Structure 1
Amino acid sequence: MVYVDFSPLKCGLISLVLFLIVKFIRAYSEKSRLRLIPTVGPDGILTSYITVFKWISNANEVVNEGYRLYPGGLFKIPTLNGWEVVISGRELLNDLRGASDQVLNPDIFTEDALQAYYTMHPNVMKSSYHTDVIRTTLTRNIGVCLQDTYDEVKVAMSEKVPLSDDWIDIPAFQTALEIVVRISNRFFVGLPLCRDPEFCDLNINFTSDVFYNALTINQFPKFLHPIVGRIFTSRRASLRKAVRLLKPMIEERLKLREKYEDDWPDKPNDFIQWCIDAQQYAPLSLRTSLEDLCVRVLFINFAAVHATSAFTFALYNLACHPELVDSLRQEAEAAIEAEGWTKPALLKMRLLDSFLMESARTTGPRANGLLRKAMQDFTFSNGMTVPRGTYLSVATGPMLRDNTIFPDPEEFKPFRFAEKREKEGVSYKHQLVTPTSEWVLFGQGKHACPGRFFAGTTLKLLMAHVLLHYDVQFPNGSRELPQNFKRNADSAPDRSTKVMFRRRSRN
Structure 2
Amino acid sequence: MGLLQFSASQAARLQHVPFHYGIALLLALTYGLYRMVLPKKKHNLPVFKLRDNNVLAVLTEAYQKYPTSPFMLELPGMEMAVLPPADVDTIRGLPESVVSIKKHHYDVFLGEYTYMGTKSDEFDSAMRNVLTRNTPAVLESFTEEVEYAISNTIGPCQDWTPVSARKAMCRVASLMSGRAFVGLSLSREPDWVEANVNYTADVSKAWMILKMIPQPVRFFVAPFLPQVRSLKRQRKNNEAKLAPLLEKKQGSSPALAYEEKPVGGNLLDWFISQYKTTPTVQELGRDQLLATFASIYNLSNALTYIVFDLAATPEEDVEEMRKELMEVLGEDGVIDKNSLAKLKKLDSFAKESQRLCPPSLVNIPRIVTSPEGLKTSTGDVLPTGTRMTIMSHFINHDPKVYPDPETFDPFRFSRLREVPGNETKYQHASTGLDNINFGHGIWACPGRFFASAQIKVVLAHLLMNYDVKLRKGTGKPGQIHYGLAILPDAQAEIMFRSRK
Q: TM-score, normalised by structure 2?
A: 0.89
- Name 2:388's counterpart in structure 1: 392
1:96–1:261 Cα change, 3 Å: farther
Distance 1:82 1:160 in 2: 38
| Partner SS, residue 161 of structure 1 | coil
* 1:129-173 per-position Cα deviation (integer Å, ceiling 9, x unaligned): 212101221222221342332120011112222223311111110
Q: Give the C-alpha shift of residue 266 in structure 1.
A: 5.4
Distance 2:36 2:319 in 1: 59
Which segment is superposed worse, 338-347 or 324-333?
A: 338-347
The question of 1:115 aligning with 2:110 is answered: yes
Name the CA shift for 1:442/1:261 in 2 (closer, same or farther; >3 Å).
farther
**Secondary structure of the corresponding residue to residue 125 of structure 1:** coil
Distance 2:192 2:348 in 1: 34
**Is 2:304 the partner of 1:319?**
no
* Deviation at residue 262 of structure 1 after TM alignment: 12
Q: Deviations over 1:231-260 (max 9, x none)?
A: 23122211121122222111111222xx55
Aligned partners of 1:365 and 1:397 also within 8 Å: no
Q: Within 5 Å, give how 1:168-317 maps onto structure 2.
A: 168-232=161-225, 233=228, 234-256=230-252, 260=254, 265=259, 270-280=266-276, 287-305=278-296, 306-317=298-309
Match of 1:458 in 2: 454
Equivalent residues in 2 for 1:63-212, closer than 5 Å: 63-89=59-85, 91-117=86-112, 119-121=113-115, 125-212=118-205
In structure 2, what is the equivalent of residue 20 of structure 1? Answer: 32
Any idea what the Cα deviations from partners look like across 1:90-129, whole Å, max 9, x if unmatched? x222011132221111111111111211x3148x612242
Per the alignment, residue 14 of structure 2 pairs with 9
Kindly provide the amino acid, as one letter, of the partner of residue 481 in structure 1: K
The one-letter code sitting in structure 2 at the alignment partner of 1:364 is P
- Of 401, 409, 412, the match for 1:413: 409
State the SS of the aligned residue for 1:279.
coil
Deviation (angstroms), 1:395? 0.7
When residues 331 and 398 of structure 1 are mapped into structure 2, their CA distance, relative to the original with a 3 A threshold, is same
Instruction: Work out the number of aligned pairs and report it.
Output: 474
Tell me which residue corresponds to 1:352. 346
The one-letter amino acid of 2:304's match is T
Between 469-478 and 335-344, the greater mean CA deviation after superposition = 335-344
Name the structure 2 match of 1:37: 45
Name the amino acid aligned to 2:302: A
- Aligned residue type for 2:292: N
Query: How far did 1:469 drift?
Result: 0.8
Q: Greater CA deviation, 450-459 or 297-306? A: 297-306
SS in 2 for 1:186: helix
Distance 1:178 1:340, change over 3 A: closer
CA displacement, residues 64-89 of structure 1 (integer Å, 9 cap, x when unaligned) = 22222211211111123332001122
Which letter does structure 1 place at the counterpart of 2:156? L
The residue matched to 1:29 in structure 2 has which SS?
Answer: coil
- Asked whether the 8 Å contact 2:162–2:493 carries over to 1, the reply is yes
- Structure 1: distance between partners of 2:446 and 2:454: 14
- TM-score by length of structure 1 reads 0.88
Q: 2 CA distance for matches of 1:239 and 1:14?
A: 30
CA distance in 2, matches of 1:304, 1:365: 12
Q: 1:340 to 1:262 in 2, by over 3 A?
A: closer
Do 2:180 and 2:267's aligned partners in 1 also have CA atoms closer than 8 Å?
yes
Between 191-200 and 421-430, the greater mean CA deviation after superposition = 421-430
Give identity over the alignment, percent: 26
The superposition leaves residues 283-331 of structure 1 with CA deviations (integer Å, 9 ceiling, x where unpaired) of: x7xx521122112112101111111111111111111123321111111
Tell me the distance in 2 between the aligned counterparts of 1:476 and 1:362: 24
CA change 1:263–1:97 in 2 (3 A) is same
Report the secondary structure of 1:101's partner residue: coil
Q: Give the match's secondary structure for 1:473.
A: strand
- Which deviates more from structure 2 when the two are superposed, residues 261-270 or residues 127-136? 261-270
CA contact (8 A) 2:362 2:393 kept: yes
- Measure how far apart 1:465 and its partner are: 0.6
**8 Å contact 2:138–2:450 — kept in the other structure?**
no
Q: Where does residue 55 of structure 2 map in the other structure?
A: 59
CA RMSD of aligned residues (A): 2.4
Letter aligned with residue 140 of structure 2: Q
Give the Cα–Cα distance (whole angstroms) in 2 for the partners of residues 14 and 8 of structure 1.
15
Corresponding residue number in structure 2 for 1:44: none
Kept after mapping to 1: 8 A contact 2:28/2:217: no
Distance apart, 1:364 and its partner CA? 3.4
1:23 touches 1:221 (CA, 8 Å); kept in 2?
no
Q: For residue 438 of structure 2, what is the aligned residue in structure 1?
A: 442
Aligned residue for 1:491, secondary structure, equals strand
What SS does structure 2 have at the residue aligned with 1:496? coil
Q: Which residue of 2 aligns with 1:45?
A: none
Secondary structure (helix, strand or coil) at the match of 1:77 reads strand
Deviation at 1:340, TM superposition (A): 3.8
**Counterparts of 1:262 and 1:292, CA distance in 2:** 25
Gaps of 5+ in 1: 41-47
When structure 1 is superposed on structure 2, of 167-176 and 420-429 the one drifting more is 420-429
Preserved contact between residue 435 and residue 444 of structure 1 (Cα < 8 Å): yes
What SS class does the counterpart of residue 148 from structure 2 fall into?
Answer: helix
Task: Single out whichever of 101-110 and 447-456 deviates more from structure 2.
Answer: 101-110
